[in-house]
Amino acid sequence: MSPPWPKGKKLVHLDLKGARPRIGYLHKLIELFSRLGADGLLVEYEDMFPYDGELKLLQATAHPAYSREEVMSIQESAKARGMEVIPLVQTFGHMEFVLKHRSLWHLREVPLCVGTLNPHKEEGFKLVMEMLRQVVDLHPGLRTLHIGADEVYTLGEGEDSKLWLDSTGGTVEQLFLSHVNKVAKAIKEAWPDMNIIMWDDMMRGMSQDTLKASGLVGLVQPMLWDYTPNLDVDKTVSLLEKYHGAGMSDLWAASSFKGSTFVHTCVTCTQRHVDNHLQWLKVAASLPAAINMRGMAITGWQRYDHLSVLCELLPVALPSLASCLQTLIHGEFSTEANRKVTETLGVSSVEVEAMERASADESLFPGRKLAELILEINSLLDSEDFRFFESNMFVRGWFSPYHRQRKTVNPLNCMHIHKQASEYLDTLQKKVEALKKEMVALYPDSTVEEWIEEHISAVMAPLQRITEAIQECIKEMVP
């Protein structure tokens, strides 16, 4: 057993670049996060923020952005529970939601990389600062801001960067630090008391001397992220010691409760994420007392990036989040921690796949009915009957591509195939209708459409094609 997580904030990360909850559902979630032990939110708005003026084009169109009133209500709901809200605004990498727009293509580092900003164009810097200004203005009393700056892919490969590297003799590391410095200093000029957090990954390979000379010491607070269940404790401690040795005395950690297993994961594995937190507790226990850990962001990625598919929806990940928070609070996932989770959520197991059907008050676990329907549908789609229907004996033996092309089939056997496929389709369709009803109450229509198209349509389509093809063939064979 490790000691509980050291003094500092436990932030729940809300990734709103996919499946953003309806505001009423989000208020219920914030209340649950508080009951489970969270004391802050790290909110990554992306295109869900109500940008206006010249930045209005950044607002989502397919997925409706939150209104100004809704953004204020999120903060009020959190504040009423003593929770701090920290906005995350990307300022360098992962700017897909900005640079995908045709009118802003010229601000990319290289044409093929939609996520990385060209650090040499003043227009790009001004755009970033205007994004920050609008977000800060809509967060009165804001004390801390996260500027992203992770995974700045292809940096140094653009023509402007190549020219800069050649003319200055500088390095890609220095190019990265130069832009982050410019943004951070501008933030301090505009809001002198603002704390600035940034992701650490672009600095991991830098020497301590490079970091000391970076200009970022005293200006930013690195947030070291690692979401793996087998996190390397010694390596992570060494990294944190390096940052501290360079003079970066305020540090953060970032773990994960969902959205970091596979890009298309549909159902969360609680144990995987608990294991990640157990490793982080070992890191915390191994740190020298001089290192000031300001807190941990428990990330819940909704997409790997703006243009990727949806990861697990929040309802199926709530047992994982609850378990991770209680692991940090207790220093292990003890019997007491397990009991706190099951009682708070009204569930029989912290593994969402092992939950029994709802019998307790659903309000204990906002979105539980949707989670159960997702599990049922996922189980159905993973069954051999569905996944391997086109490979079953009857289809391969009596309705192969050869038979379909020539419309020469055994009608009796084909009608057996047709009956099976139709029954599967009917079963799935009934569950999908129930899922739609639950999902649309918690998420925008566009999210419902996306989830169904990604997870259901791809499985239904082959079955539908088979039933239609059999009907066509039967016309040719039966009077």
User: According to the model, what pLDDT value does residue 1 have?
Assistant: 67
| Residue 185 and residue 233 in one domain | yes
Domain that residue 180 falls in: 9-354
- Choose the final residue of a domain: 319, 354, 389: 354
Q: Residue holding tokens 């600035």?
A: 196
Examine residue 465 and state whether it is found in any structural domain, yes or no.
Answer: yes
| Residue 87 and residue 231 in one domain | yes
| Residue 45 and residue 106 in one domain | yes
- Residue 466's pLDDT band, with cuts at 50, 70 and 90, is confident
Examine residue 87 and state whether it is found in any structural domain, yes or no.
Answer: yes
| Residue 132 and residue 280 in one domain | yes
| Residue 189 and residue 318 in one domain | yes
Over 60: is that where the pLDDT of 360 sits? no
| Residue 330 and residue 389 in one domain | no
Examine residue 64 and state whether it is found in any structural domain, yes or no.
Answer: yes
Over 70: is that where the pLDDT of 12 sits? yes
| Residue 141 and residue 90 in one domain | yes
Element (H, E) at 85: strand 84-88
- Residue 463's pLDDT band, with cuts at 50, 70 and 90, is confident
- Choose the final residue of a domain: 354, 386, 408: 354
Read off the pLDDT of residues 421-441 as tens digits, 9 standing for 90 and up: 888 889 989 999 999 999 999
CA distance 48 to 64: 7
Over 90: is that where the pLDDT of 280 sits? yes
Read off the pLDDT of residues 188-226 as tens digits, 9 standing for 90 and up: 999 999 999 999 999 999 999 999 999 999 999 999 999
From the centroid of its chain, how far is CA 45? 11
Examine residue 94 and state whether it is found in any structural domain, yes or no.
Answer: yes
CATH of the domain at 183: 3.20.20.80
| Residue 273 and residue 398 in one domain | no
User: Could you say which of 31, 151, 353, 449 is catalytic?
Assistant: 151
Examine residue 469 and state whether it is found in any structural domain, yes or no.
Answer: yes
| Residue 376 and residue 342 in one domain | no
Q: For the chain, give the percent of residues with pLDDT over 90.
A: 76
Examine residue 337 and state whether it is found in any structural domain, yes or no.
Answer: yes
Residue 298 pairs with which residues in a beta bridge? Answer: 12, 255
Of the candidates 154, 207, 151, 210, the residue with the CA atom closest to the CA atom of residue 181: 210
CA distance 45 to 302: 11
User: According to the model, what pLDDT value does residue 359 have?
Assistant: 54
CA distance 343 to 366: 14
Examine residue 365 and state whether it is found in any structural domain, yes or no.
Answer: no
Say how many domains are in the chain: 2
Q: Residue holding tokens 């559902």?
A: 25
Q: For the chain, give the percent of residues with pLDDT over 70.
A: 98
User: According to the model, what pLDDT value does residue 362 have?
Assistant: 67
| Residue 380 and residue 350 in one domain | no
| Residue 327 and residue 386 in one domain | no
- Choose the final residue of a domain: 354, 381, 407: 354
Catalytic residue at 454? no
Tokens matching residue 36: 């489970």
Residue 87 pairs with which residues in a beta bridge? Answer: 43
Examine residue 359 and state whether it is found in any structural domain, yes or no.
Answer: no
Over 90: is that where the pLDDT of 80 sits? yes
Alpha helices (H) in 148-300, listed in sequence order: 159-168, 172-190, 208-212, 233-245, 270-286
Query: For the chain, give me the number of helices (H) and strands (E)?
Result: 18, 8
Lowest mean pLDDT among 20-34, 101-115, 335-349: 335-349
- Residue 178's pLDDT band, with cuts at 50, 70 and 90, is very high
| Residue 347 and residue 391 in one domain | no
